[in-house]
Homo-oligomer: A and B are copies of this chain.
Amino acid sequence: MYIGVDLGGTNIKVGVFDAELNLLGKNSKTTQADMGPKIVVERIAEAVNELANQHGTGLEAVKAVGIGAPGPSDISVGLIVAAPNLPLFRNVPLRDMLSKELNKPVVFENDANAACWGEFVCGAGKGVEDMVFFTLGTGIGGGVVSNGKLVHGFHDGAAELGHIIIYPDGRVCGCGQRGCAEAYASASSTGRRATEMIAVGRKSSLKAVFDEKGEVTSRDVFEHYARRDELAKEIAEDTAKALGLLCINVLHVTEPQRIVFSGGMIAAGDLLLSRIQYYFDKYIWTLKKEAVDICFATLGEDAGIRGAAALAKEQP
């Protein structure tokens, strides 16, 4: 059996898989990040132990554990350098701490790469060699698979795809740059751009949502777009345009066969996907026809634990 762990700021998700990477069962716990790394590692180990006992004969049957964790991280040594959602985690050797706690080999990866690898191995990227992966959530995370391998870059800083600059001198991004794709097209930014427009007096059916909740989410934007609200349409189209441009820009770097979108915002469904495809087609060159397949992820919340387990299985 293999274990996949997805460590988030709020929850620890754990899955147990057989040798063919079929999911046998899942478990989750709150992270309790404010208790610090030692307690969090113990909680991960607890979750793993419980799951291994439920679906087998305990840890004995577990060959290896994979974990995806927020970063920036130093992947080759399994270290969380810092993590906005885990404020007490500074240079934490998570891989070795967990390996010691469980007495098992542990493979470490950053969370977006782990989810990317899950989709690549057994989700929307199955059967291809070159894939680009986006998560549309609070930010825009990414993963790049080239020649069948994750691209890590010089200091594990590759695939920060949300920080590709789409509009130079544009909106301020949390990273310190201006005009990042993330500042326009993450789920949070999409909601925020709508909120800003309402705040300056734009008429919209989203106004009622704002008055009730004090904010507008990307979900609201796409719902009201579907009901033909003009402001919602404008905001959603700008999001789709930024994502279409993002697809073009990554295409010209690694030419993936498939570009996979995941994360909360893909709940907007065909409306979102068809508009991304529209802007991709509108802005892509005419020099030759591009065959890249732009699609949604298929594993949902399980991509991270699947990818982590797959990495555990592949370790030499």
A: residues with CB less than 8 A from B are: 72, 128-130, 144, 146-147, 149, 151-161, 163-168, 173, 175-178, 241, 245, 248-257, 283-288, 290-292
**Which 10 residue pairs are nearest across A and B when measured between Cβ atoms?**
A153-B255, A176-B286, A154-B257, A175-B285, A158-B255, A157-B255, A160-B252, A176-B285, A175-B287, A177-B285
Residues of B within 8 A of A166 (CB): 165, 168
Residues of B within 8 A of A163 (CB): 252, 285
Most B-side CB within 10 Å, residue of A155, A159, A178, A287: A287
**19 contacts across the A-B interface (CB closer than 8 A):** A72-B287, A128-B154, A144-B254, A146-B153, A152-B255, A153-B255, A157-B255, A158-B252, A159-B252, A160-B252, A161-B253, A163-B285, A164-B249, A164-B253, A165-B248, A165-B283, A166-B168, A176-B285, A253-B254
Most B-side CB within 10 Å, residue of A154, A249, A283: A154
Identical chains bound together, number: 2
Most B-side CB within 10 Å, residue of A166, A252, A288: A252
Contact assessment for A151 and B147 in the assembled complex, using a CB-CB cutoff below 8 Å: yes
Contact assessment for A165 and B291 in the assembled complex, using a CB-CB cutoff below 8 Å: no
Contact assessment for B286 and A158 in the assembled complex, using a CB-CB cutoff below 8 Å: no
